Amino acid sequence: MVEGGKESCTCHEREKDEQESLSLVIEGEGRMVEEIAKMIAEGRGQEAAQAITRAKQEGKTGSDWIVLEAELAVMEGKIEEARRLLAAGLEQDPEHSEFFVVLGETYSFENSNLAYLCFEQALLYCQTEEDEEMICAAMEEMRKRCGFRVRETSFLIVSYNDRELMKECVSAIRKSVRRGTYEIVVVDNRSTDGVQKWLRDQLDIRLIENGRNVGYPTGMNIAYRACRKENDIFMLNNDAVLTPNAYFWLRMALYAGREVGAVGPMSNEASGQTISPVPGTMEETFLLAKKINLPSANPCEETLSLTGFAVLIGAEAAKSVSMEKDIMDDRYSPAYFEDDDLSVRILYAGYRNRIVHNALVYHKGGSGFPEGNVKEEEEKVPAQAKMELLQKSRKQFMDKWGFDIWAYKGVWTDFADVID
């Protein structure tokens, strides 16, 4: 018994010694990081570079060292190198506050709006009051600069069933946006699965309940009338779920220039905006997002039309295209081609639509209105009824605009047959 007690005591002391040694190593590395950060802050770039090189040779790795390398690159004017380093870091740790601080520094003399958005994202993930104060000060500096125009966001959602996905949708918004800088307006089209009860209990949601399913365009107009018009508008399907940092990169694309009117993400399910390879589940989409939602040199693609499952529209563009109090053309209710119509109106107003390739959003697809709303006769099967509605809305678009948008969005199989 005595010998066993001695052995137990020895093991305990050994573990204690190992923990103390590890603490000393971490403390020592922390001091080293602070010293190099001070060198960079004082403009001693050559010393900092040599210290970082020695640390890397000693096997020092991790987020703090990526931050130092990126800071040094910024100091030396190597902006693209800094962003490349930050992209590698964010792929490993997408919620690291300091990565976004340094990213903001890369934009501070290029675009104060983008710098502000980066600092705001850093604040979203910030863990300490001291860092919060520093980030808020940086944001305030950007806000005072000429040309600053960043707005808050109104999320507009038309709801019909899909209760669990609606919960995921709202939860993702809350995780993606700082509290107090957004509003959520939900119009429920008389759901039948009890989602209204859950929505009523959410204190940060303005809920409007329709007595019948009025379809997507009309439902979206009701939501638009209720939102704050000074905000940017994010039209989001109830079966769409933001992945981490997707909203951030959409905003970065929107504020890249005043000419940008609307932006849309890549997705697992979105016509013209489908990522390849296509992830099969929400979990797979979120895993892929870690490799997609990163700094990229040229992430945006000009497009005629954006798919309406997730569209972020600038406040000025929304006001320019709104028809009196409405933003959607009701002639397309209950569904189809209303997003194409809105996209064309944004272009006619002098703005541009862009697909953002470094923003990924999950989309279940196929939700929004019940089969009964698209049936004209009881004996028609849902697929036939939907196809007839699709063709009806397509004709309405052609009558209004004088061209067939399908000619610009997909492959004309009849033309392919002629070539053969």
The answer on 27 and 85 residing in a single domain is yes
Q: Looking at beta carbons, which pairs linking 372-380 to residues 24 or more positions away fall under 8 Å? A: 373/213, 373/215, 373/334, 374/334, 374/335
Q: Quick one: how far is CA 320 from the chain centroid?
A: 24
Q: What is the pLDDT of residues 169-198, one digit of tens each?
A: 999 999 999 999 999 999 999 999 999 999
Position 136 in a domain: yes
Residue 269 to residue 363: CA distance in whole angstroms: 6
Position 288 in a domain: yes
| pLDDT value at residue 45 | 85
| pLDDT value at residue 31 | 85
The answer on 330 and 211 residing in a single domain is yes
Q: What is the pLDDT of residues 343-369, one digit of tens each?
A: 999 999 999 999 999 999 999 986 444
Q: What is the pLDDT of residues 132-149, one digit of tens each?
A: 999 999 999 999 999 999
The answer on 210 and 357 residing in a single domain is yes
Where residue 230 falls among pLDDT bands split at 50, 70, 90? very high
Position 381 in a domain: no
The answer on 255 and 298 residing in a single domain is yes
The answer on 354 and 254 residing in a single domain is yes
Position 419 in a domain: no
| pLDDT value at residue 407 | 86
Domain boundary among 143, 176, 203: 143
Q: The domain containing residue 23 runs over which residues?
A: 18-143
The answer on 131 and 41 residing in a single domain is yes
CATH number for the domain harbouring residue 165: 3.90.550.10
Determine which helix (DSSP H) or strand (DSSP E) holds 232, and give its type and residue range.
strand 232-236
The answer on 219 and 104 residing in a single domain is no
In this structure, is the dihedral angle defined by the CA atoms of residues 332, 325, 312 and 195, taken in order, positive or negative?
negative
Q: Which residues are paired to 354 by β-bridges?
A: 263, 302
3-state class of 44 per DSSP?
coil
What is the dihedral angle through the alpha carbons of 74, 76, 79, 80, rounded to the nearest 10 degrees?
-120
The answer on 240 and 160 residing in a single domain is yes
CATH number for the domain harbouring residue 90: 1.25.40.10
The answer on 214 and 173 residing in a single domain is yes
Total domain count, the chain: 2
The answer on 242 and 181 residing in a single domain is yes
Position 395 in a domain: no
Predicted TM-score (pTM) of this structure: 0.88
The answer on 165 and 135 residing in a single domain is no
The answer on 341 and 277 residing in a single domain is yes
